[in-house]
A and B are shown apart, each in its own frame.
Chain A
Amino acid sequence: MAGRATRSLLSLTIAASLALGADAAQAPPPSSPAGGGAPFAGGRPFATPFGVIYSTNITPDRPPPNHLIPPLGFRPLLASWQALSPRPTSPEPPGLDAAGRRGAELVAGLGHCGSCHTPRNSLRAEDADRPLAGAMAEGWYAPPLQADSPAPAPWTTDDLETYLRTGLSDHHQAAAGPMGAVTRELSQAPEEEVRDMAIYLSALMSRANRPTPVDQAAAAARAWPQGAQIYAGACASCHDAGSAMRRQGRPSLAVGTPLDEDRATDVIMIVLEGLTPPEGKAGPYMPPFADSLTDAQVVQLTAYLRARFSRERPWKDIPGAVRTARKGAP
Chain B
Amino acid sequence: MSAPSRRMVLGGGALTVFFALAVPAGAQEGHGATAGLPGDLKRQPRLDSWIRVGADGRITVFTGKAELGQGIKTALLQVAAHELDAPLAQVDLITADTGLTPNEGVTAGSHSMQDSGGAIRNAAANVRWLLIEAAARRWSLPPAGLTTGLGAVQAPDGRSLPYGALATALDLAIDARPDVPFRPPGRGPVGRDVPRIDIPAKLAGGAAYVQDFRPEGLVHARVIRGPSEGTALGEVDIAGARAMPGVIAVVRKGRFLAVVAEREWQAIQAQQRLQTAPSHSTAQRPNDIHAWLLAAPAQAQVILDLGEAAGGAPTASAAYTRPYLMHGSIGPSCAVAHLQDGELTVWTHTQGVFPLRRAIAQLVGLPQENVRCRHFEGAGCYGHNGADDAAGDAALIAMALPGRPVRMQWMREQEHGWEPLGSAMVTHLSASLTPEGRVGSWRHDVWSTPHNTRPQEAGRLIAGAEVDPPFAAPPPQPIPMPEGGGDRNAIPLYAFPAARVTNRFVPEMPLRVSALRSLGAHMNVFSIESFMDELALMARADPVTFRLTHLEDPRARDVVAAAARQFGWQAWRRMPGRGRGFGFARYKNLGAYCAVALEVEVEPVTGTLSVGRIVSAVDSGQAVSPDGIRSQIEGAIVQSLSWTMIEQVAWDSDQRTSFDWGAYPILRFPALPKSVEVEVIDRPTEPFLGTGEAGQGPTAAALANAVADATGKRLRDLPITAEKVKAAIG
Indicate whether A242 sits within 8 Å of B275 (C-beta atoms), given known contacts A39-B610, A237-B268, A284-B662: yes
Q: Taking the complex as formed, is B276 at the interface, i.e. its CB lies under 8 A from any CB of chain A?
A: yes
- Does A283 touch B at the CB level, under 8 Å? yes
Majority secondary structure, A binding face: loop
Residues of A within 8 A of B276 (CB): 241-242
With A42-B603, A280-B721 known as contacts, the answer to whether A242 contacts B663 (CB < 8 A) is no
Q: Are A19 and B577 in contact (CB under 8 A)?
A: no
Q: Is the CB of B650 within 8 A of A282?
A: yes
Is B205 interfacial (CB 8 A cutoff)? no
Q: Separation in Å of the A212 CB from the closest CB of chain B?
A: 21
- Which A residues are in CB contact (< 8 Å) with B469? none
List the A side residues contacting B610 at CB < 8 Å.
39-40
* Residue A247 at the chain B interface, CB threshold 8 Å: yes
Chain B's closest residue to A280 (CB) is: B646
Chain B residue numbers with a CB within 8 Å of A249 are 654
B662 close to A39 (CB less than 8 A):
no
Which single member of B279, B575, B674 contacts A39 (CB below 8 Å)? B674
Judged by a CB distance under 8 angstroms, whether B671 is at the interface is yes
Which of B412, B654, B670, B674 is A40 in contact with, Cβ under 8 Å? B674
Contact A282–B665 (Cβ < 8 Å): yes
A18 smallest CB distance to B (angstroms): 5
In the complex, the answer to whether A22 meets B722 with C-beta atoms within 8 Å is: yes
Chain A residues whose C-beta falls within 8 Å of the C-beta of B274 in the assembled complex: 242
Q: Number of B interface residues at 8 Å Cβ cutoff, please give it.
A: 47
Secondary structure dominating the interface of B: loop
B272 within 8 A of A: yes
Chain B, 224-278, CB within 8 A of any chain A CB? 227, 268, 271-276
A244 contacts B227, CB within 8 Å?
yes
Residues B643-684 near A (CB distance < 8 A): 645-646, 650, 654-655, 657-665, 667-668, 670-672, 674
Task: Give CA–CA (A21, B721) in the complex, Å.
Answer: 13
Report the Cα distance A255→B276, complex, angstroms: 18
Q: Looking at the complex, which one of A40, A188, A241 makes contact with B601 (CB distance below 8 Å)?
A: A40
Q: Does B612 contact A (CB under 8 A)?
A: yes
Whether B605 contacts A15 by the Cβ 8 Å rule is: yes
Cβ of A162 under 8 Å from chain B: no
With a cutoff of 8 Å between Cβ atoms, the chain B residues found around residue A283 in the complex are 662-663
Answer whether residue B475 sits at the interface, using C-beta atoms and an 8 A cutoff. Answer: no
Indicate if the CB atoms of A22 and B608 lie closer than 8 Å: yes
Query: Which of B227, B601, B665 contacts A280, CB < 8 Å?
Result: B665
Enumerate A157-213 residues with CB–CB distance to B below 8 Å.
188
Contact with A along B591-632 (1 / 0, CB 8 A): 000000000010111101010100000000000000000000
B578 touching A58, Cβ below 8 Å: yes
A21 x B605 contact (CB < 8 A) = yes
Residue from the list B411, B605, B612, B663 in contact with A56, Cβ < 8 A: B605
With A277-B662, A282-B665, A284-B662 as contacts: A244 and B413 at CB distance below 8 Å: yes
**Inter-subunit contact B604/A282 (CB<8 Å):** no
Provide the residues of chain A in CB contact with B608, threshold 8 Å. Answer: 21-22
Residues of chain A contacted by B36 (CB below 8 angstroms) = none
Task: Report chain A residues within 8 Å CB of B645.
Answer: 280
Knowing A242-B272, A247-B275, A283-B662, say if A56 contacts B604 (CB, 8 Å). yes
Residues of B close to A281: CB separation below 8 A: 665
Q: Say yes or no for B158: interface residue by CB 8 A criterion.
A: no
- Decide yes or no whether A55 CB sits under 8 A from chain B: yes
A240 at interface by CB-CB < 8 Å:
yes
Say how far B13's CB is from chain A's closest CB, in angstroms.
36
A240-B272, A248-B227 known; A285 and B661 CB under 8 Å?
yes
Q: Which residue of A lies closest to B417 (CB)?
A: A244
Q: Does B181 contact A (CB under 8 A)?
A: no
Most B-side CB within 10 Å, residue of A188, A249, A282: A282
Residues of B within 8 A of A248 (CB): 227, 655, 657, 659, 663
In the complex, how many angstroms separate the beta carbon of A233 from the nearest chain B beta carbon? 8
Q: Is B576 an interface residue (CB 8 A)?
A: yes
Q: How far is the CA of A56 from the CA of B658 in the complex (A)?
A: 33
Pairwise interchain contact B659-A280, C-beta atoms closer than 8 A: no
Instruction: Determine how close the nearest CB of chain B comes to the CB of A114; give it in whole angstroms.
Output: 25
Cα A249 to Cα B412 in complex, Å, equals 17
State the CA gap A20–B659 with chains docked (Å): 26
Give the docked Cα–Cα distance between A241 and B671 (Å): 34
Measured between alpha carbons, how far is A39 from B674 in the docked complex, in Å? 7
How distant is the Cα of A51 from the Cα of B645 in the complex, in angstroms?
29
Determine the residue in chain A with the shortest Cβ distance to B661.
A285
- Provide the bound-state CA to CA distance between A24 and B645, in Å: 18
A283 to B660, CA, bound (A): 10
Cβ proximity bits B704-730 to A, threshold 8 Å, 1 near / 0 not = 000000000000000001110000000
- Quick one: given A241-B276, A243-B272, A277-B665, are A19 and B575 in contact (CB under 8 Å)? no
Given A237-B268, A242-B274; A279-B670 close (CB under 8 Å): yes
Contact status A279-B671, CB under 8 Å = yes
In the complex the two chains form, is A282's CB within 8 Å of B272's CB? no
* Residues A58 and B657 in contact in the complex (CB < 8 Å), given A40-B674, A280-B671: no
**Do B670 and A285 touch (CB < 8 A)?**
no
Nearest-neighbour CB distance to chain A for B382, whole angstroms, equals 19
What distance in Å separates the Cβ of A63 from its nearest Cβ neighbour in chain B? 12
Give 6 closest A-B pairs by Cβ, nearest first.
A285-B662, A244-B413, A242-B275, A242-B276, A242-B272, A21-B606
Please give 15 more A-B residue pairs, beta carbons under 8 A apart, in addition to A40-B601, A56-B605.
Answer: A21-B603, A40-B610, A55-B606, A58-B601, A242-B273, A242-B274, A244-B413, A244-B659, A247-B275, A247-B659, A248-B227, A248-B663, A282-B658, A283-B662, A285-B663
| A-B contact list, 26 entries, CB within 8 Å | A21-B606, A22-B608, A39-B670, A39-B672, A39-B674, A40-B610, A42-B603, A55-B605, A58-B577, A188-B723, A241-B276, A242-B272, A242-B273, A242-B274, A242-B275, A243-B272, A244-B413, A244-B660, A247-B279, A247-B413, A249-B654, A279-B668, A280-B671, A283-B663, A284-B662, A285-B662
